[in-house]
Amino acid sequence: MSNSLYDFGMIGLGVMGRNLLLNMADHGFSVIGFDKDATKTSALESGATAGTTVKGVAELAAMIQLLQRPRRIMMLVPAGQPVDDVIESLLPLLEPGDVVIDGGNSHYTDTLRRVKYLKEKQLHFMGIGVSGGEMGARTGPAIMPGGDPEAYEKVRPMLEAIAAKVKGEPCVAYLGKEGAGHYVKMVHNGIEYSIMQQISEAYALLKAAGLDNDKLHEVFRTWNEGALQSFLVEITADIFLQKDDKTDARLVDVISDKAGSKGTGKWTSQDAMDLPVAIPAIDTAVSLRTISAYKEERVQAAKIYEAPAGGINTPVDTWIQQVHDALYFGTILSYAQGLAMLYQASAELKMEIPLPQVVKVWRGGCIIRSVLLETFSTAYQQSPELPNILLNKEVAKLVQGIETNTRTVVAQAAQVGIPAAGIMAALSYFDAYRTERMPTNLVQAQRDYFGAHTYQRIDMPGTFHTVWEQH
């Protein structure tokens, strides 16, 4: 094995691609990156730690020639057509046994198609979810690989080296067959949408009680020292202190309230409907980003419909605790719905996703890392086939301890007209999930009445239809 050959190649040297390569180089691997943009190849080389082996090239063929066989190549390019275009340009340059990885946020159905397509050409294809943003990529992301187990073994030493570590364990594991890596990353992002939405609702509820940015910073910083300790709560505390460099205001107060949702959050909702599995907290988060974009209509509606009179009249310290519990409740339910979706998808789509491994990988490096994942990790170690985390006794204790305060907050939000739909959706899901007999028997009766859709009975097996009398 000649020293002049590189261990790993990267196509696309944007922020994520560059930082992942530099992270690999820091762990003793020799790396090479390709990008048509010369400023990006030089940024790669100038960003390298002294003594590491890092090269940037502007010719794809040159990079392929300089890689050890079997070649290990990752693409970090925008999802969709660009990935297919890169694959087509690679095909004439590769040899049987080479491993091609898509590290972007591709939809898992595209990954399934590409796995099959490249298998016919005797090439290994893997879809890998990477979470942790710019800093994570450089210092240790959470990595969610799926696909060909044989290919995973060829890249495992590198992925384990660069992944975040929790209690000495790398935040990477083989997460299932076919498109499982991208599927897990998609659901990760759905959970992320939901928790971010609920944090924004907690912010609105606290602001309504008169908390200013300094106090909000203090509250979130304190919350991050307890049960809510997580990356998202930690960065939220920081955000309230950031000064705007253009005015004297705090930056958060001059940022527009219009948000978009593209890709992974929306896909999570769409795919959940297809399975089907219920994830209303995630669906609500996607919907509310859509509503946020109707800014002009909201301005008009605000003039027509006044908010209900009266504000939050609970003592401030009590209210802070109640909102804390409601956010904690909503966070648990966001994970519960996402994990239930993975459980269902694993079976329906035959991906064999190991949930104990998923929650372990999410404990560090990724955007939804939180202390709660330790509790879930223990739960899955006890019963790996748990269909819903809410059925675990320890999780049930946590939920029961904060349920009353959550109901108080939801009722109060409804009375004063503060939109807290994410937390409300979490509570509604919980109430439906813990209801032994739902009123859906009436829905079944209605469907049979108007459309002869038939129904089942509770006292005997079989399928029935009634000719309903009109009264």
CA distance 152 to 149: 5
Neighbours of 414 (CB within 10 A): 13
What is the number of alpha carbons within 13 Å of residue 221 lying toward its C-beta? 11
Q: Each residue of 64-115: pLDDT tens digit?
A: 999 999 999 999 999 999 999 999 999 999 999 999 999 999 999 999 999 9
Whole-number pLDDT of residue 3:
54
Q: Which residue type sits at 459?
A: D
Main-chain dihedrals φ then ψ at residue 430, nearest 5 degrees: -60, -45
Pull the structure tokens for residue 444.
């079944």
Whole-number pLDDT of residue 370:
96
Active site residues: 185, 192
The CATH classification number of 8-174 equals 3.40.50.720
The CATH classification number of 185-434 equals 1.10.1040.10
Distances (CA, A) of 144 to 60, 87, 355: 26, 21, 12
Look up the pTM and report it.
0.94
Low-confidence residues of the chain: pLDDT under 50: 1-2
Does the annotation list 121 as a binding residue? Answer: no
What is the number of alpha carbons within 13 Å of residue 290 lying toward its C-beta? 9
Does the annotation list 388 as a binding residue? Answer: no
Does the annotation list 343 as a binding residue? Answer: no
Parse the chain into domains and list their residue ranges: 8-174, 185-434, 438-470
**Domain formed by 438-470, architecture:** Up-down Bundle (1.20)
Does the annotation list 364 as a binding residue? Answer: no
Which is it for strands 99-102 and 72-75: parallel, antiparallel or unpaired? parallel
Which residues, other chains included, contact 419 with Cβ-Cβ below 8 Å and sequence gap of 6+? 201, 204, 288, 413
Does the annotation list 131 as a binding residue? Answer: yes
Q: Give me the long-range contacts of 77-85 (CB less than 8 A, separation at least 24).
A: 77/11, 77/12, 77/104, 78/104, 79/104, 79/105, 79/106, 79/107, 79/110, 79/263, 80/106, 80/110, 83/110, 83/114, 84/114
Contact 176, 255 (CB under 8 A): no
Contact 25, 48 (CB under 8 A): yes
Q: Which residue type sits at 296?
A: E
CA distance 99 to 123: 6
- Range list of H helices, 57-148: 60-65, 81-90, 108-119, 133-139
Does the annotation list 189 as a binding residue? Answer: yes
